[in-house]
């Protein structure tokens, strides 16, 4: 009886309907990787923007290029999700999280641009809050992926 109860509990927990327990799709994994590369470049830009020896013009050019890449990634992610939805599939939560993380990177880039224009440290603090939001969203993606791997 006890073994049967444990088995039933294991089955119920293993087949949880928790939306975060589902695996990251292949496309979400690819976009997650692209997002991580962009985030790394954006953090490097933020660090260099705070260096008083840096020339502002190349940093602004890099900021604009990264902003375009973030927007393009978000658009691709949302297009893929919309295509899946149009085929009757439910929204891919991994894709939605990547898109949400892109919004956080957009915020960081905007604050970085404002810092370059004004040199006001308030914008560096705002960029830091955007990074924290990006990190939080990334952790949600990681938990989603980890639950997948631990459930197998």
Q: Each residue of 83-116: pLDDT tens digit? A: 999 999 999 999 999 999 999 999 999 999 999 9
pLDDT at 109: 98
Q: What is the pLDDT of residue 75?
A: 98
Instruction: Give CA separation, 35 vs 48, 71, 72, 93, 107, in Å.
Output: 20, 11, 11, 15, 14
Q: What is the pLDDT of residue 149?
A: 47
Residue with tokens 């980890």: 146
Q: Identify whether the C-beta of residue 121 lies closer than 8 Å to the C-beta of residue 78.
A: no
| pTM for the full predicted model | 0.81
Q: What is the structure's pLDDT at 147?
A: 56
Q: Taking the chain (152 residues) in consecutive chunks of 10 residues, what is each chunk's mean pLDDT?
A: 41 40 83 97 97 91 98 98 94 96 98 97 98 97 67 44
Q: What's residue 146's pLDDT? A: 61
pLDDT of residue 10: 39
């Amino acid at each position: 009886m006890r073994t049967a109860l444990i088995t039933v509990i294991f089955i119920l927990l293993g087949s949880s309907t928790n939306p975060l327990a589902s695996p990251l799709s292949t496309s979400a994994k690819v976009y997650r990787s692209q997002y991580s590369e962009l985030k790394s470049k954006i953090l490097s830009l933020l660090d260099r923007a705070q260096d008083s020896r840096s020339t502002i013009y190349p940093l602004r050019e890099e900021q604009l290029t990264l902003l375009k890449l973030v927007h393009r990634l978000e658009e691709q992610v949302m297009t893929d999700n919309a295509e899946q939805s149009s085929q009757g599939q439910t929204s891919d939560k991994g894709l939605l999280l990547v898109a949400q993380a892109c919004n956080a990177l957009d915020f960081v880039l905007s604050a970085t641009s404002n810092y370059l224009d004004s040199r006001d440290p308030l914008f560096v603090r705002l960029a830091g809050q955007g990074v924290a939001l990006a990190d939080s969203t990334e952790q949600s993606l990681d938990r989603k992926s980890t639950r997948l791997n631990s459930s197998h």
